[in-house]
Chains A and B, each alone.
Chain A
Amino acid sequence: MNAPTDKGVERLAALQGMGESRLRKEDARFIQGKGHYVDDIQLPGQLHMDIVRSPLAHARIKSIDKSAALAMPGVHAVLTANDLKPLKLHWMPTLAGDVAAVLADEKVHFQMQEVAIVIADDRYIAADAAEAVIVDYEELPVVIDPYEALKPEAPVLREDLAGKTSGAHGAREHHNHIFTWTAGDADATAQAFATAPVTVSQHMFYPRVHPCPLETCGCVASFDPIRGELTTYITSQAPHVVRTVVSMLSGIPESKVRIISPDIGGGFGNKVGVYPGYVCAIVASIVLGKPVKWVEDRIENISTTAFARDYHMDGELAATPDGKITALRVKVVADHGAFDACADPTKFPAGLFHICTGSYDIAAAHCEVKGVYTNKAPGGVAYRCSFRVTEAVYLIERMIDVLAQKLGLDKAVIREKNFIRKEQFPYTSAFGFEYDSGDYHTAMKQVLDKAGYPALRAEQAARRADPNATHLMGIGLCTFTEVVGAGPSKMCDILGVGMFDSCEIRIHPTGSAIARMGTITQGQGHQTTYAQIIATELGIGSEVIQVEEGDTSTAPYGLGTYGSRSTPVAGAAIALAARKIHAKARKIAAHLLEVGEADLDWEIDRFNVKGDASRFKTMKDIAWAAYNNLPAGMEPGLEAVHYYDPPNFTYPFGIYLCVLDIDRATGETQVRRFIALDDCGTRINPMIIEGQIHGGLTEGFAVAMGQQMPFDAQGNLLGNTLMDYFLPTAVETPKWETDHTVTPSPHHPIGAKGVAESPHVGSIPCFANAVIDAFSHTGVTDLTMPFTSYRVWQQLKAHGLALEV
């Protein structure tokens, strides 16, 4: 390739390709309030659905009286499980191999479970009629604690599974047990622990939280009885998977089901699943022959659609006296709620939790995850992370701090001592993951230098020595490795469909283009960044590349956007589809310039004849020729489709450091500095990366400092409104300092690894480690999130650190 001339530099800039901080194409409509969301869809004759929900967490339904509701003017139908039974739609399969009630069948299993639906002329009538449905319940004993659920005398929660001694993931050992999943080498790990000079163990709880996207879930289902076609607008992160599920459930051929995900106001995992509300709206539309809209309110969203986490974890590390870790052992009791509705790849009921050896070279490891039913809403999705990676990173990053405290080692030093070294990549972990690339030591040094780490520790020591200090100081580190880009279809599938993703690109005669993908943007900026990849690959300006996603009738099949998979999987599909076009374009250019293909050089946006840059054809010239002047025998047109099945996951990493001060009188925590260094491989749009990191850090801050779904003993969810559920605003959010290194993925076509979830995954343990570090001199090794002022103040009191005011 010729060195770009001055003119080349201009042409390169004009492309707005990879590496440019191209402004987001989505923002023009979003900041003007011109986004088009599900609730903006208004179809002629559209009816509205509302849901009758259970106030009780566990009860038998004695009777449902819908006569008063049906008598109300404007009410079209009231449906219960008994009405869905003849269609065999009162239960539905979950992505995790279990079944979930669409409408409560004889029993309710969690508070606010769907019991009946009302279809009416408008939303208000539907809501009033929902209140007129009288349900008579007989209360049953409620089980909220998963450890209690596993006791022999615990009430049977899932009577529908009576006598089933095995589930989708092996044997069931108890009536409330779902699965036990293990990974690693139990014997080698036991051996390492038996001979280890030092061991530590720690129990920790990662509370139940909710992704809480600003837009709640909803759909508009429209069945055309004449054509037998079903169109559903839906807030889905995976529209193609929804189409497959809907076709399987309804029996309507997949070719007559069209799923459209319009603009989505945030997903974060909450919009992966297929919820009872969707199924009910679709059934209602089929039954009534009219479009039916259902949109959740906030309370319904937080209470019933997929939660995240709820992991009770026991970690153990074995080490040498100087802090070299030799083994990791983990036991988890996972509270999955009433139905196992996790959205993980089929073979991994605990997702990719076994990435829990983290960034460290640990020879032996074993983990066991036990899934348990309780009287809580189902879900267990990844909240801005790849399949339980947040829990895994929390575990190992907390454990390494526990070990450092036991050995009296510095928390940075112990990490550097155990990091996988740069020359060890590709590195195979004790759990069998093959880490593609990384350079942890360089990144660590960059962060510690930026923070002035030794001075911070000295300040902390001085603060501790002063009994009158008004504030405790905590320094938290989190040096994480993620596993994203699920995934290689030999390992990963959803409902039997491999977790590939896809791209179709068409170049129009005048040189502009349209690209369609199987993913769906929910704030990630795909319309901006995907065009940049194509611009760089094909020499077509980003501005004339339209990116479309979310309509299953036009987009190629893909598994959707979650688990940071868009760039690692669809991004690769885009590059490879573009390269197919590039190869054809070269043939056309050779034909037009009457030279051999080998005599051409590619330069930014054109093919030059080798040695004579004055003879060239631009991609625009080639696009025109593709429709009128082709080599003999060549098919007209310039387009390509690529389905990309990744050979491996990608492994982004980051080094985060948090300094915070805790007011000893009030328990208030002030984040003084937060440095986030991320390495996501090749960077496509630095501005968008920065924005994603800010968003992820802010959500991490929310989880660590305030988000929680507390339940009382009767199963009431005390915290399902935004009065209680913490969403940080600019007022609470700390200032973020971002940094980066670039270690491309060697197996990805453009070396990109994915980034949007790293800041969430990495920041939560970083905040936790910082708060616990502030208490560590008193022997505290663990505290449970969220670190609200009141809870921190209670800890100050408990450890004799509180200052009286």
Chain B
Amino acid sequence: MEVSLDKRYPVAASPAQAWTVLRDVRAVAGCMPGAAITEQLDDTHYKGNVKVKVGPATAAFAGDIEVLSLDEATQRLNLLGKGADRAGSTAAMDLVATVEPGETPGTSVLVGQAKVTVNGKFAQFGGRMMVQVSDMILQQFADNFSATAAAQPVPEAEVAAAQPLPEAETVAAQPVTEPKAA
């Protein structure tokens, strides 16, 4: 079962802040509900796992993540994740994510194209709900991503270039991350 996703999520942080998160695979994984990086093998290879529930199917995928490309100039990340669940499912995701400037200063857009392939029991049981569940998970991911990005220190160059942000606004972004940490 193959699902192609093409999504744009608004991020309440500047492109530079967002890119700081996106270029860090551990941080990206941290935004994905149920996911974690367990080991870094080299500059571009990681091991990780992710737990997902789709309808009656629950899977704990353990697998490899490979950063295929990371382009600072275009703020574009391409990674490939492949994993297997011991109960008889496999999953793979080829993800291309870029950061674009938002419509208003200090905001950005996370643009993602992903091809998700699942096989085995996960596809058999959860196939018909894949799109809906993917949407839901990605929305959670985007929310976490946005909060994480907003919590990043604003790069100096950007501070200089941009209008100073009102205190209140920066503070307002903070509480979003706090319940997650709790």
A and B part of one assembly: yes
- Count class of interface residues, chain A: 20 to 34
A56 to B90, CA, bound (A): 8
A679 to B51, CA, bound (A): 59
Contact B86 A56 (CB under 8 A): no
Contact B2 A55 (CB under 8 A): no
Kindly list chain A residues whose C-beta atoms are within 8 Å of the C-beta of B123.
712, 714, 716, 718
Contact with A along B113-155 (1 / 0, CB 8 A): 0000111110111011000000000000000000000000000
A55 to B118, CA, bound (A): 9
Contact B127 A55 (CB under 8 A): no
Q: Does A721 contact B (CB under 8 A)?
A: yes
Cβ-closest chain B residue relative to A127: B87
Q: Which of B56, B89, B117, B124 contacts A718 (CB 8 A)?
A: B124
Taking the nearest CB of chain A, how far is it from the CB of B82, in angstroms?
Answer: 9
Kindly list chain A residues whose C-beta atoms are within 8 Å of the C-beta of B56.
723
Q: Does B171 contact A (CB under 8 A)?
A: no
Contact A714 B124 (CB under 8 A): no
A570 to B120, CA, bound (A): 43
Taking the nearest CB of chain B, how far is it from the CB of A623, in angstroms?
Answer: 59
Contact A713 B119 (CB under 8 A): no
Contact A718 B86 (CB under 8 A): no
Q: Does A609 contact B (CB under 8 A)?
A: no
A111 to B56, CA, bound (A): 19
A718 to B1, CA, bound (A): 9
Kindly list chain B residues whose C-beta atoms are within 8 Å of the C-beta of A54.
120
CB-CB contacts below 8 Å: A687-727 with B: 712-721, 723
Kindly list chain B residues whose C-beta atoms are within 8 Å of the C-beta of A717.
124
Q: Does A617 contact B (CB under 8 A)?
A: no
Kindly list chain A residues whose C-beta atoms are within 8 Å of the C-beta of B118.
716
Contact A712 to B90, CB < 8 A, known contacts A55-B121, A56-B120: no
Q: Does A131 contact B (CB under 8 A)?
A: yes
Contact A716 B127 (CB under 8 A): yes
Contact with B along A717-739 (1 / 0, CB 8 A): 11111010000000000000000
Kindly list chain B residues whose C-beta atoms are within 8 Å of the C-beta of A55.
84, 88-90, 119-121
Q: Does A137 contact B (CB under 8 A)?
A: yes
Contact A132 to B2, CB < 8 A, known contacts A716-B119, A716-B127: no
Contact B124 A716 (CB under 8 A): yes
Kindly list chain A residues whose C-beta atoms are within 8 Å of the C-beta of B125.
721
Contact B86 A132 (CB under 8 A): yes
Q: Which of A56, A131, A134 contacts B87 (CB 8 A)?
A: A131
Taking the nearest CB of chain B, how far is it from the CB of A64, in angstroms?
Answer: 13
Cβ-closest chain B residue relative to A712: B1
Q: Does A53 contact B (CB under 8 A)?
A: yes
Cβ-closest chain B residue relative to A719: B124
Taking the nearest CB of chain A, how far is it from the CB of B44, in angstroms?
Answer: 20
Kindly list chain A residues whose C-beta atoms are within 8 Å of the C-beta of B117.
714
Contact B86 A134 (CB under 8 A): yes
Q: Does A57 contact B (CB under 8 A)?
A: yes
Interface centre among A54, A137, A712, A717 (most CB of B within 10 A): A712
Taking the nearest CB of chain B, how far is it from the CB of A338, in angstroms?
Answer: 16
The total of chain B residues at the interface (CB under 8 A) is: 19
Contact A720 B124 (CB under 8 A): yes
CB-CB contacts below 8 Å: A46-68 with B: 53-57
A736 to B84, CA, bound (A): 49
Contact A56 B119 (CB under 8 A): yes
Q: Which of B86, B87, B121, B127 contacts A712 (CB 8 A)?
A: B127
Contact with A along B1-44 (1 / 0, CB 8 A): 11000000000000000000000000000000000000000000
CB-CB contacts below 8 Å: B76-109 with A: 84, 86-90
Kindly list chain B residues whose C-beta atoms are within 8 Å of the C-beta of A299.
124
A701 to B117, CA, bound (A): 35
Contact B119 A714 (CB under 8 A): yes
A591 to B123, CA, bound (A): 76
Kindly list chain A residues whose C-beta atoms are within 8 Å of the C-beta of B128.
718
Taking the nearest CB of chain B, how far is it from the CB of A552, in angstroms?
Answer: 36
Taking the nearest CB of chain B, how far is it from the CB of A160, in angstroms?
Answer: 23
Contact B124 A57 (CB under 8 A): no
Contact A137 B86 (CB under 8 A): no
A53 to B120, CA, bound (A): 9
Cβ-closest chain A residue relative to B56: A723
Taking the nearest CB of chain A, how far is it from the CB of B157, in angstroms?
Answer: 44
A720 to B84, CA, bound (A): 21
A162 to B134, CA, bound (A): 42
Q: Which of B1, B84, B87 contacts A716 (CB 8 A)?
A: B1
Cβ-closest chain A residue relative to B121: A55
Kindly list chain A residues whose C-beta atoms are within 8 Å of the C-beta of B2.
712-714
Taking the nearest CB of chain B, how far is it from the CB of A103, in angstroms?
Answer: 16
CB-CB contacts below 8 Å: A655-696 with B: none
A111 to B121, CA, bound (A): 10
Contact A53 to B127, CB < 8 A, known contacts A714-B1, A714-B117, A716-B119: no
Cβ-closest chain B residue relative to A716: B123
Kindly list chain A residues whose C-beta atoms are within 8 Å of the C-beta of B1.
712, 714, 716, 718
Interface centre among A53, A55, A714, A715 (most CB of B within 10 A): A55
Contact with B along A298-329 (1 / 0, CB 8 A): 01000000000000000000000000000000
Kindly list chain A residues whose C-beta atoms are within 8 Å of the C-beta of B86.
131-132, 134
Taking the nearest CB of chain A, how far is it from the CB of B129, in angstroms?
Answer: 12
A258 to B2, CA, bound (A): 48
Contact A137 B120 (CB under 8 A): no
A686 to B125, CA, bound (A): 43
Taking the nearest CB of chain A, how far is it from the CB of B95, in angstroms?
Answer: 18
Kindly list chain B residues whose C-beta atoms are within 8 Å of the C-beta of A716.
1, 118-120, 123-124, 127
Interface centre among B86, B90, B119 (most CB of A within 10 A): B119
Cβ-closest chain B residue relative to A718: B127
A131 to B84, CA, bound (A): 11
CB-CB contacts below 8 Å: A354-370 with B: none
Taking the nearest CB of chain B, how far is it from the CB of A111, in angstroms?
Answer: 7
Taking the nearest CB of chain B, how far is it from the CB of A486, in angstroms?
Answer: 35
A720 to B90, CA, bound (A): 18
A176 to B119, CA, bound (A): 23
Taking the nearest CB of chain B, how far is it from the CB of A568, in angstroms?
Answer: 40
Contact A111 B87 (CB under 8 A): no
A718 to B56, CA, bound (A): 14
Cβ-closest chain A residue relative to B62: A134
Taking the nearest CB of chain A, how far is it from the CB of B111, in angstroms?
Answer: 26
Kindly list chain B residues whose C-beta atoms are within 8 Å of the C-beta of A713.
2
Taking the nearest CB of chain B, how far is it from the CB of A758, in angstroms?
Answer: 34
What are 28 A-B contacts defined by CB distance under 8 Å?
A54-B120, A55-B84, A55-B88, A55-B89, A55-B121, A56-B90, A56-B119, A56-B120, A111-B120, A112-B88, A137-B90, A299-B124, A712-B1, A712-B2, A714-B1, A714-B2, A714-B119, A714-B123, A716-B1, A716-B118, A716-B120, A716-B127, A717-B124, A718-B1, A718-B124, A719-B124, A721-B124, A721-B125
- The 10 A-B residue pairs with the shortest CB-CB distance, nearest first, are A55-B120, A716-B123, A131-B86, A55-B88, A712-B1, A55-B119, A718-B127, A55-B90, A56-B119, A716-B1
Q: Taking A56-B119, A132-B86, A716-B120 as given, write out 18 further A-B residue pairs in contact, using a Cβ cutoff of 8 Å, ordered by the A residue number.
A: A55-B84, A55-B89, A55-B90, A55-B120, A56-B120, A57-B119, A111-B119, A131-B88, A134-B86, A712-B123, A712-B127, A714-B123, A716-B123, A718-B1, A718-B123, A718-B127, A721-B124, A723-B56
B-binding residues in A (CB < 8 A)? 53-57, 111-112, 131-132, 134, 137, 299, 712-721, 723
A-binding residues in B (CB < 8 A)? 1-2, 56, 84, 86-90, 117-121, 123-125, 127-128
